[in-house]
Amino acid sequence: AIDSIIPLQSRSLWTKNKAKKIGSEEDFDEKFVNHVETTLARSLYNCDDMAAYEATSLSIRDNLVIDWNKTQQKFTARDPKRVYYLSLEFLMGRALDNALINMESPEGSTDKHANSRDMVSDSLQNLGFKLEDVLKQEPDAALGNGGLGRLAACFIDSLTTQNIPAWGYGLRYEYGIFAQKIIDGYQVETPDYWLNTGNRWEIERNEIQFPVTFYGYVDRQDGNRSTTEPSQWIGGERVIAMAYDFPVPGYKTTTVNNLRLWKAIPTTEFDFAKFNSGDYKNSVAEQQKAESITACLYPNDNFEAGKELRLKQQYFWCAASLHDILRRFKKTQRKWSEFPDQVAIQLNDTHPSLAILELQRVLVDLEGLKWDEAWDIVTKTFAYTNHTVMQEALEKWPVSLFGKLLPRHLEILYDVNWFFLQMVAKKYPNNAEILSSVSIIEEVNPERQVRMAFLAIVGSHKVNGVAELHSELIKTTIFKDFVDIFGASKFTNVTNGITPRRWLKQANPKLAQLIKDTLNDPDENYLLDMTKLTKLADYVDDKDFRNKWNDVKLQNKNTLADLMKKFNDGKDVVDREKLDDTLFDIQVKRIHEYKRQQMNIFGVIARYLDIKELLSEGKSIEEIEKVYPRKVSIFGGKSAPGYYMAKLIIKLINSVADVINNDESINGILKVFFIPDYNVSKAEIIIPASDISEHISTAGTEASGTSNMKFSMNGGLIIGTVDGANVEITREIGEDNIFLFGNLSEKVEDLRAAHRYKSDDFPESLDRVLSALESGIFSPDNSNEFKPLWDSIRYHGDYYLVSDDFESYLATQKLIDETYHYQREDWVKKSILSVANIGYFNSDRCIEDYAETIWNVEPVVPE
């Protein structure tokens, strides 16, 4: 299937000169200096850490590209079934350290170093640099909001490690998720123009450009044709999707997959339709506008608002990605009916659902397939991952907006819906209610809406949730009717996971070293087979091991203390002398009412009020410390810029911190700190340092959560509700090793209903906290500043059930204090057992699940 334009007699010259991988320190020295002196046009006279980072990245990138080429050529030759993972977000973080960890020496290399990372580190040392300083130069690739985007990043890592032929498709936003600044306690968003330091990891694919069309109208040569027959979409606006590729390395494999991100650029074709205007200035302005399509990542997490540009982004991305997938398929010259045998497309949430309509359009309008034939191919190709049951997070588009932007797709959507509803009607005759409840078009005032989740279900052969509880919930709530219609087998579960290469090896090198030594696994194969970690359980009674374990944690806490100091005007937040006696209680994730950071900070306030009361009763602070031992509550996370309540929670945390941290009477036994601009590289510092972390969403709201897994994998214990993946984590690590509390999801509806009718059984502990807020001790300038927060609980139905869970939350916190401070040996054992049993939540397992139950793909192992 490979055909070349290079004449045969030239090939030996190519082979003779083929690019070589880095096999030794000397190879790296040479590559590095050459990149500095040619690509960067710099020299040893002006090579700073940033230039060293760039030259290192370019050198390692070259290495990756050699394997990338080999991988892609093999895929082309063997033509296996491929997975395409469509995600509007890929929260990749930094690439260099990850690439170094994954870097494989070429065959026959006799380099003396244990691994390539050490080799590069030595080489840099000899050239005048420290690897650690070099790594820190890299800006985060923050092309995601939170969990959904980071999941995509973990999956693409595991897909490659598992040698699955897979490409990710996303958008190359010029602006990633905003950078969060905290000014006077408030979140202030500043644009993250992350490319202004360049991006040495991307391959600019000038040669891969596809036109994408918007607006316009539909033409059918013959007025009598139906909308299910080939139609011509005459577009009104045209932009070019240009590809940027990011090679994705895997661990202990030379397979390199590809993450292809699209950038919108102006078309340079001559547009006859527009030339009449004769207005050069305007036509340049029109062209310039093209780039705005991929300018900005929408900074909302678990919330959807229907902006035209967002829909444009989605179609732009789906159209370009499908075009690319189809082009690749067509080169194999297989029959269309074989398409689903060769191509599996996974929809990460509903954002890429337009791909369903686009594939149907291409097959019917451009390739001339019959409607049914085409639809059969479509539904066999797609599978859909749901990430939420919350109404406000379900994507909907006004029909008029949809039809204006994508007139032909709306026709196809109507027909898809029509055939689907006919099928339903046959199954449930005379049941108008079910028809209206499952229709992809929602008939509501003032305007009808396209329900993207329903489109995704109807257009896919499998639908999965991301944790067992969540997958059950979607079947019994939002998608209940679809289970009846399609049968339960269409719905499945794949519990989320995380890549241990980044979240253990890269983030926590000290723990990784201890594990490697303890398991006597010098090649760190446990990172490929996390069941090996269970062996750690054998060492829980080994005092020496426990001390080492605790010592790793202590060192990581010290590193986090450095980070906090940096954001605290250079002053220590915690007492470094007492680090081992200070419980690090961490909640880092998007700020959301359903994630209940407000409950956490209320808990902090309650503790503070208790301490103050005891002080006022004349107790000494030493005595009080026995009851409320030393603790720091650490927060981090961004709020959507328009999410008022979430931003108010951030302000509250900072106001509380301001009061507590400056109250000398409490002698520092309680501290609060909000780390600004939480992102992947900060997570890599924060997570390994946690003693306890909070995963306390209202039961039934968090689909899975993945930070819970990251904390556990780093030996942090969890306080959590019976929600999302907490349930399965409990099952795996044992209920003795996790601190669960709160009401169960089954009770949520009843509790909410109860709030509507009575508000009397309000816990005194919470009342006290809210009264303190009302008194203005945390907002001296404006005692009503936090009114919306207490109002939502006292008067607006307490939708997130803070009042119902608060008492058990406080009780559990008390238990945690006791265990950490008075049963430390137990605590460390729990920590060890958490890590020992967390293996299930590695993303390699997810990929195996998807491959087997949804995609039906096989690995292609390199020779």
Catalytic site positions: 387, 589-590, 595, 706, 710
- Give the 3-state DSSP-derived string for 775-801, with helices as H, strands as E and coil as C: HCCCCCCCCCCCHHHHHHHHCCCCCCC
Q: Cα 636 to the chain's mean position, in Å?
A: 16
CA dist., res. 738 & res. 692, Å (int)? 10
Instruction: Match 């039961």 to its residue by tokens.
Output: 699
320 neighbors 241 (Cβ within 8 angstroms)? yes
Distance of closest approach, residue 48 Cβ to a second copy, in angstroms: 6
- CB of residue 423 to a second copy, shortest distance in Å: 42
* DSSP, res 842: B
Is 729 within 8 Å of 837 (Cβ atoms)? no
* Shorter beta-carbon distance to a second copy: residue 10 or 436: 10
Closest approach of Cβ 87 to a second copy, in Å? Answer: 22
Q: Which residues, in sequence order, are CB contacts of 500 under 8 Å at separation 6+?
A: 527, 530, 713, 842
Query: Cβ of residue 15: shortest distance to a second copy, in angstroms?
Result: 9
Q: 53 or 602: whose CB is closer to a second copy?
A: 53
**Token reading at 690:** 């946690």
Q: Look up residue 438 and give its two tokens.
A: 């499952």
Q: From the CB of 12, what's the least distance to a second copy, in Å?
A: 10
Q: What angle do CA 21, 194, 679 make, to 5 degrees?
A: 90
> Are 392 and 593 contacting, i.e. CB atoms less than 8 angstroms apart?
no
**Comparison of 268 and 445: residue with beta carbon closer to a second copy:** 268
Pairing state between β 396-398 and 382-385: unpaired
Nearer to a second copy, 45 or 795 (CB): 45
Burial of 782 (0-12, 13-18, 19+ CB in 10 A): exposed
Cβ neighbour number for residue 17 with a 10 Å cutoff:
8
How many beta carbons lie within 10 A of that of residue 775, not counting itself?
10
Neighbours of 726 (CB within 10 A): 26
Both structure tokens of 746: 């089954």
Q: Nearest CA to 697 among 594, 787, 814, 623? A: 594
Q: What's the CA gap between 354 and 101, in Å, rounded? A: 37
Q: Which of 12, 107, 86, 4 is nearest to 863 (CA)?
A: 107
CA distance 332 to 330: 5
- Closest to a second copy by CB, 41 vs 488, is 41
**What is the rounded CA–CA span in Å between residue 697 and residue 597?**
9
> Cβ 161 to a second copy, closest distance in Å?
21
Q: Please say whether the beta carbons of 832 and 539 come within 8 A.
A: yes
Q: 16 or 426: whose CB is closer to a second copy?
A: 16
Going by the DSSP 8-state scheme, the letter that residue 724 receives in this structure is T
- Please say whether the beta carbons of 120 and 100 come within 8 A: yes
What's the closest the beta carbon of residue 120 comes to a second copy, in angstroms?
Answer: 14
Dist CA 710 CA 217 (whole Å): 49
Three-state DSSP string of 88-101: CCEEEECCHHHHHH
Query: In angstroms, rounded to a whole number, what is the distance separating the alpha carbons of residues 458 and 371?
Result: 15
Burial of 768 (0-12, 13-18, 19+ CB in 10 A): middle
Read off the DSSP letter of residue 175.
Answer: B
Q: Give the whole-angstrom CA distance, residue 212 versus residue 210.
A: 6
Strand segments (E) across 163-266: 166-171, 176-183, 186-192, 203-214, 217-219, 232-234, 237-249, 256-266
CA–CA separation, 528 and 859 (whole Å): 15
734 vs 862 by CB, closer to a second copy: 862
Smallest separation (angstroms) from a second copy to the CB of 836: 41
Q: Among positive and negative, which fits the CA dihedral 448, 452, 453, 454?
A: positive
Please say which residue, 30 or 229, places its beta carbon nearer to a second copy.
Answer: 30
The per-type count for the chain, helices as H runs and strands as E runs, is 33, 24
Alpha carbon dihedral 62, 65, 67, 73, in 10-degree steps, equals -150
Q: What is d(CA 359, CA 315) in angstroms, rounded to the nearest whole number?
A: 12
CB 303 within 8 A of CB 640: yes
Q: Which residue, 764 or 863, has its beta carbon nearer to a second copy? A: 863
Q: Where do we find the tokens 């009808």? A: 448
Give the position of tokens 């008022």: 644
By beta-carbon proximity to a second copy, the closer residue of 278 and 570 is 278
Shortest distance, position 369 Cβ to a second copy, whole Å = 29
Nearest approach, Cβ of 738 to a second copy (angstroms)? 37
Distance CA 431, CA 797 (A): 34
